[in-house]
Structure 1
Amino acid sequence: MSFTPPDPFTTRPTLRGTFGMAASTHWLATATAQSVLERGGNAFDAATAAAFVLHVVEPHLNGPGGDMTGLFSTAEEPGRPVVLMGQGPAPAGATVQHYRGEGLELVPGSGALAAAVPGAVDAWLLLLRDHGTWELAEVLDFAIAYARDGHPVLGRVCGTISAVSELFRDHWPTSADLWMPGGRIPEEGELVRNPAHARTLQRLVQAGAGIGEAVGATAGHTRESRIDAARREWSEGFVVRAVAKAVQTPHRHSSGTDHRGVLTMADMAGFRAGYEEAATLEFRGHRIAKTGPWGQGPALLQTLAILDGFDDEHLDPSTELGAHTILEALKLALADREAYYGDADVPLDYLLSADYAAERRQLITEQASHEFRPGRVPGREPYIPPLRTEYVAPALTGDDGGSGGNGSGDAAAAVGEPTVGPTGETRGDTCHIDVVDRWGNMVSATPSGGWLQSSPAIPELGFCLGTRLQMTWLEPGTPSTLTPGKRPRTTLTPTLVLRDGAAVVALGSPGGDQQDQWQLLYLLRTIVGGYSPQQAIDAPAFHTTSMPGSFWPRTWEPGGAVVEDRLGNDVITGLERRGHRITRAGDWTLGRLSAVVRDPATGVLQAAANPRGAQGYAAGR
C-alpha cells in the first residue's frame, strides 16, 4: 500500500454488527435512530425520527424552518441511489430588483430576506410516507418529548446564544424570549424546553388524526393519508399563517439594516419536496452518488475525476504530495462550482467527462495556485464572481448609527462548528445522520438552516426561518442568480457509495463549503488507502479556502488552506514551501464526519462517527 499507514489507535472502534447501525452529529439523535430500529422500524423511520430530534437538540445548526438533502437506497432496489430533495426555492417576491432596491449588494446572512421556502419538514414526511413503516405520532414522539420536557443543552448552543445575545436583546425580542428567558443565557447541561415547538409538532400529528385546520386535512384511513394530512397542515395551515405574519415585521439583518421578509403563504403552499436521480461517477471500482448541480455535490465528483488520473502516491492526504495534489484539484472543481452550478441548465456530463478531467488535471503543478480558474465549456462563458478578500458593507446611517459590519477571508472561519457573527450570520454549520438497517435500506441526510441565530423566532411555532438565499448572487446572468422559484445552490451534500450494484456506504458531514472536502479525504483513505471507517474519520483533515465562500459575506483567500496540526510539521512546512497560505486550526478541529457501511455479501454492518467536540456518536449492534 502506497498510503501512509493509519494510526492503529483510533479514538473509538468502528462498530460492527448485523442488526442495524446509526451515526450522527449528536448522541441523542443517534440513540433515537437506534431505538427506532430496535423497536422494528426501518432505516427511514429511524432517520426521520432522529432528524426531528436534531431540530430540537442542535437548534444552532438546523431547525424546521430550514432545508435538507438526502440520498438513499432501498432494500428492494439496492443499486439505485435516490436524492431526497428538501431544498425550497426562492419566494416569488425574492427578486434582484427588490433586494437592490433595499440597498443591498449581497443577500444578507441573517434575517428573513435570506429565507427560502422551508423544505426540510415536507421532505422528511415524504420519505416517511413512501418508505417508512411507522405512524407519524410514533416518529415525532421523541422530538416532542425533548421539546416539551427538556433536554440538556449543549455548550455550543449556549455559546451561539451568547454570540448573538446583543442582537436578540436589541433587535430580535422574540428570539430573546425563547432562548434567553429572563434575560439569561442558559448554561451547558441545563434543561431547556421549547413548548411552542412541541405544540407545533403535536398539531401536525393531530392533523393526521383529522382535527387539523388545513384545507383538505380530513381524517385519513391509511398511514399514508394521515402523513399527507400533516404535510398539508404544514404547507397550508397554521404554520404558514404564522410565518407570513412574522416576516412582515421589519427586523435587523446582517447588513446592519432593517427589512421585511418576502416569504408568503402562497410560496409555502406551492412547494412540495420530491425525489430526483442522483449524479454519479465511477471511481476505483465504486460508484459515488451525489445531488445534482443545484447543490455543490458534483464538485466532489469532479475532484475525484481529476484525481483518478494520478497514481496512489498523489492521493494520500497524509503526505505533502498528496495534500498538495488534493488541494489543487479541489480548487479547480470549486471554481467550476461557482462558474456553472445552480438550479439551471448545467453541462454536468461535460464537467464529469474523462476528457475534461484530463484537461483540468494538466493545470496542477508543483506549486499552489492563487488564481480562480474555472474551466471552459464549449458554448458557455464561465461566471466569474466578485473575488472579495474582504467585504465591508456600505456606510449606513440610522437611529443606532451602526455600520454594516465586515467579514474577511479569514481561513479560520467555518471549521467544525459554526462561526457565528454578532449580527447572526453563520458559516460552517449543519447536522448529519446516516442509518442502515438489517434489510439493507440505507440513508444519508444533511439537515440544515433555520438555526436559532438566522432570523427572529416565530413565537407561535418555536422556530425561525433559514437563510439559504445567501448562496445566490444579486448579479444578473449567473447560474445562481437570485430568481423567484429557483432553488439556491445549497452546500448540503450527503454521499452514497455503491459497489457491485448495491449501496455500501452512507456518508456525510456538516461544514458548509467544507462538507465535500472532508468527505473526499474519507473516500480516498477508505477506497484507496484501506483505512477503516473510524480510522478515516479520525485522520487529520484539511480544506481549501481558495474559492468564494457560499455564505455571506462571500469572501475568499487566494491560495488559502486550513489544516489540522496533526498533519505534521514536515507536511505543513512542505505545503507552505509550495505556496499554500496555511492556517493551523489545532489538532482536532476540522470535519464532523459520520458513516455507516454495509457489506452486501455478508450482511455485516459498520458505523463510525466524529470524535471532535465529543458530540457525534455511532450506535448499533
Structure 2
Amino acid sequence: MSDFTTRPEILGTFGVVTSTHWIASAVGMAILEKGGNAFDAAVATGFVLQIVEPHLCGPGGDMPAVFYSKKTDKVEVICAQGPAPAGATIEHYTSEGLKLIPGDGLLATVIPGAFDGWMLMLRDYGTMSVREVLEPAIYYAEHGHPTLPRVSNTIKGLADFFKKEWPTSYETWLPGGSAPEAHANFKNPVLAETYKRIIAESEARTGRENQVEAARDAFYRGFVAETIDSYLKTAEVMDASGSKHKGVLTAEDMANWSATVEAPQTLDYQDWTIAKTPAWGQGPVLLQSLALLKGFDLAAMDPSGPDFVHTVVEAMKLAFADREVYYGDPEFGQIPTEYLLSEGYNTERRKLIGSTASLDLRPGTVPGYEHQVDATMAMLAEMSGTGTVYEPTMSHLTEKRGDTVHIDVIDRWGNMVSTTPSGGWLQSSPIVPGLGFALNSRAQMFWLKDGLPTSLAPGKRPRTTLTPSLALHQGKPSMVFGTPGGDQQDQWQLPFFLRYAHHGKNLQAAIDMPLFHTSHFPGSFYPRTSSPGEIMVESTIGEATLEELRRRGHKVKVADAWSVGRLTAARRDADGLLRAAATPRLMQAYAIGR
C-alpha cells in the first residue's frame, strides 16, 4: 500500500494508542510501557480526555465501548449510557411547557454513566489500580494543561451567560473573571480533589477489585452522588428553552444503576465482520448501510468520485430513516434489528437508490411495526422545520464544532478497545459545586411523544449517537476505529472503512481522504432539525465531483479543506504487526506506537 499521507501510518509490535488529543494518547502509551494492557490504557486515556477536552467530554458524561479481550476471547460491548431518572416522565416535562427537551441545563440530564463504565472495564479486563489510572488525569487537573483554542473560544463565547445564569461554571472556567487564552495553562483543582478523594476511599479497602468497587461506591452511592443530589434539590437554571428549570436526577437514581456488558450487533461484509453497539446506540446504522451497499461494485468506483459519494449517501439516508423509526432501548420493546439487517429486506430497500438524490425521509416497513412508521412520521411532520442540524449544546451561543472524543488501543497481547466517551461538556450543564464537573445533556435525544422507541420514560436509555467500531478480518479481531461527531459519526466511519476495505488505502490514507455527510434526517440534538437532500463535502474532493453531485440533485454545502471528521483507527495484522493513525483535522489527534 503506497499512499501520500499527511502523517505516517504508525507501525510497531508492542502497542498502539490513538485518540483525539496528543496528551491523552501519550498517557495511554505510558500505561502500556508500565506493563498495563489495552484496557488500563483506555481507562487512563479516557480520564485525561475529560481534562484536556472539557468541551467534548466530562466525568458526568457517558461511554460506550466495543472491545476484544484475549482473556475471554470475545468481542463485547460496555454500555455506560445512563438511563433517564425516575422523575423523567413525559407528563412532567410537558407540564413545564416543553415540546422538546432542551439541549442543555438540568432537565436534559440522565444518570452519568462514564465513571461506572470505566471502572467496570478496569475491574473485569484491566490489571491496574484505581490510583494508577486516575493519577495522570489528576496531574493535568492539578498542574494544568495547554488550553485548546476551541476550549478558549467556547468559554469566551459563554462568559456572559455563565456569569449571569451559571455562576458555578463561571467560577470554574473563568477563574479570576477571565477566560483562559489559547494554549494558556489551565487547571481544575476542584476536580483533582474529587478524584483524589475517590482514590483515598478506594484504598481504604484491600485488593485491586475491591478498590475498584469502592471507587464505584464513592461515585454512585457515596459523596459524589450525595453532592449531586444536594445541588439538584434546589438548583433551578436557565437552559436552551429560554426558561429556568430544575432537574429530576436523584442520588437514589444513581445508587440503583450500574454499567453493563452486552453482546455486540454484527454484520458480515465480504471477509470482514463489523461489531457495533446494539440499537440503544446508532451503531446498527453503519451495518444497515453496509448491508445496502453489498449490492454495488464499490471497488470499481473512484473513492473520491461522484458515484461513490452519491451511492454511499443514498444508502445512509435509508439507514438513518430506519434509525428514526425503529431504534431505541431494547429493554423497553423489541427492536427488529435482525430484520433490518436481513438480505431480503435490503435487497428491496436497495432498489430505492437511484441516479438522483432523494429529498424524502423513506423508512422501510417491518411487518408488525407499521404503527411505528405512522407514529414517527406523524410526529416528525408535527415537529417539522428545516435549518441547521445543531451539534451539541449551547450551540446557539458559541462554537458548534465538536461534541465527543474517541480512543482506540491495541496492546502486544492482542487486546483491543474502541470507545467514544462523551457528555458532561462544559457547555452542557452548570458545574456541580464542590465536584468540579458538569452533568450531561443526553436526555435531549428523547421525544416528548408517547408510543415511540425513543419516547422519554424513566429507566430508559436515550438512543445515543455514540458508536465505536471493531472489525474482525477473516474471523479474527483486527481493527478498531471511530470518531466524534454526533449524527456524523457513522457517516464518517463508513467511507473510511469502505476506502480501506475496497481501495487498498492504509489507515492514514483512508483517514486523510475527503469526507462527507448528510443532514437529510432529523438531528439527534436540540432543536432536532433536518435539511432534506443536503450534503456537506470537503472542498478537497474537487470541483468536478461537487458539480456532478449538484447535477444529481444533492444540495451541496462545501466545507473548508481539512474541517470534517476526527477519525482515529488501529489495526493488528495476522502476523502481529500493529498499525495506527489519527486525523490531521483540528491539529490535535495523535497516534502513538512502537
TM over 0.5: same fold? yes
Secondary structure, in 3 states, of the residue corresponding to 1:140? helix
- 5+ residue gaps, structure 2, are none
Contact 1:67 1:87 in 2 (8 A): yes
Whole-Å separation in 2 of the counterparts to 1:280 and 1:36:
30
For the Cα contact (< 8 Å) 1:389–1:556, is it kept in 2? no
Cα distance in structure 2, aligned partners of 1:440 and 1:465: 35
CA distance in 2, matches of 1:604, 1:7: 17
Does residue 1:536 correspond to 2:521, yes or no? Answer: no
Indicate yes or no: 2:351 matched with 1:362: yes
Summarize the Cα distance change of 1:7–1:602 in structure 2 as closer, same or farther, 3 Å threshold. Answer: closer
Per-residue CA deviation, residues 342-361 of structure 1 (Å, 9 max, x unaligned), is 01310011000001111110
Matched residue type, 1:204: I
- Note the aligned Cα RMSD (angstroms): 1.6
1-side partners of 2:478 and 2:394: how far apart?
36
Q: Work out which of the residue numbers 298, 315, 321 in structure 2 matches 1:335.
A: 321
Q: Is the counterpart of residue 154 in structure 1 residue 128 in structure 2?
A: no
d(CA) in 1 for partners of 2:471, 2:536: 27
The aligned amino acid for 1:594 is T
2:10 is aligned, of 1, 10, 15, to: 15
1:51 corresponds to 2:46: yes
Please state whether the residue corresponding to 2:274 is helix, strand or coil: strand
- Give the secondary structure class of the aligned counterpart of 2:290: helix
User: Aligned residue for 2:78?
Assistant: 84
Please state how far the C-alpha of 1:163 moved relative to its aligned partner: 1.9
TM-score, normalising length: structure 2: 0.96
Post-superposition shift, 1:410?
2.4
SS in 1 for 2:585: coil
Amino acid at match of 2:513: A
* Equivalent position to 1:454, from 428, 451, 458: 428
Q: 1:264 to 1:19 in 2, by over 3 A?
A: same
Q: Is the 8 A contact 2:24 2:49 kept in 1?
A: yes
Cα deviation, 1:373-414, whole Å, max 9, x if unaligned, reads 0000001122224258976xxxxxxxxxxxxxxxx6226x54
The answer for the alignment partner of 2:581 in structure 1 is: 608
Q: Is the 8 A contact 1:526 1:532 kept in 2?
A: yes
Segments ≥4 residues shifted beyond 4 Å:
313-316, 387-391, 422-428
Which residue in 2 is equivalent to 1:281? Answer: 267
- Mapped partners of 1:117, 1:11: distance in 2: 40
Alignment length (residue pairs):
585
Distance of 2:102 and 2:399 partners within structure 1 = 8
Tell me the distance in 1 between the aligned counterparts of 2:446 and 2:398.
Answer: 18
Query: Are 2:558 and 1:584 equivalent residues in the alignment?
Result: yes
Please give the alpha-carbon distance, in whole angstroms, between the structure 2 residues aligned to 1:467 and 1:155: 23
1:179 corresponds to = 173
1:126-183 residue CA offsets vs partner (Å, 9 max, x unmatched) = 1001111111101111000100111111111011112222210110000001001122
- Tell me the amino acid that sits aligned with residue 135 of structure 1: S
Q: Which residue matches 1:619?
A: 592
Q: Which amino acid aligns with 1:281?
A: L
- Report the identity percentage: 51
- The answer on whether the counterparts of 1:316 and 1:525 sit within 8 Å (CA) in structure 2 is no
Pairing of 1:99-248 with structure 2 (within 5 A): 99-210=93-204, 219=205, 221-247=206-232, 248=234
TM-score (normalizing by structure 1): 0.92
Decide whether the 8 Å contact of 1:419 with 1:428 is kept in 2. Answer: no
Give the corresponding residue for 1:353: 342
Aligned counterpart for 1:494 among listed residues 464, 468, 474: 468
Rounded Cα–Cα distance in structure 2 between residues aligned with 1:316 and 1:98: 52
Q: Contact conserved, 1:74 with 1:442, CA < 8 A, in 2?
A: yes
3-state SS, counterpart of residue 613 of structure 1: helix
| Residue of structure 1 in register with 2:388 after alignment | 410
Aligned residue identity for 1:598: R
Is this contact kept in 1: 2:199–2:215, CA < 8 A? Answer: yes
Whether 1:443 aligns to 2:417 is: yes
In the aligned structure 2, how far is the partner of 1:138 from the partner of 1:76?
A: 21
Shift of 1:9: 1.9
Amino acid at match of 2:149: G
Q: Is the 8 A contact 1:509 1:518 kept in 2?
A: yes
Question: How far, CA to CA, are the matches of 1:91 and 1:573 in structure 2?
Answer: 49
Distance in 2 between residues matched to 1:315 and 1:255, nearest whole Å: 46
Any idea what SS the aligned residue of 2:579 has? Answer: strand
Partner Cα separation in structure 1 for residue 398 and residue 565 of structure 2: 22
Equivalence for 2:477: 503
Q: Does residue 17 of structure 2 align to residue 28 of structure 1? A: no
Structure 2 match to 1:258: 244
| Aligned match of 2:309 | 323
- 1:498-557, Cα deviation, whole Å (9 max, x unpaired): 023321001010000000010001110011111100000000000011000000000000
Report if the CA contact (8 A) 2:146-2:186 is conserved: yes
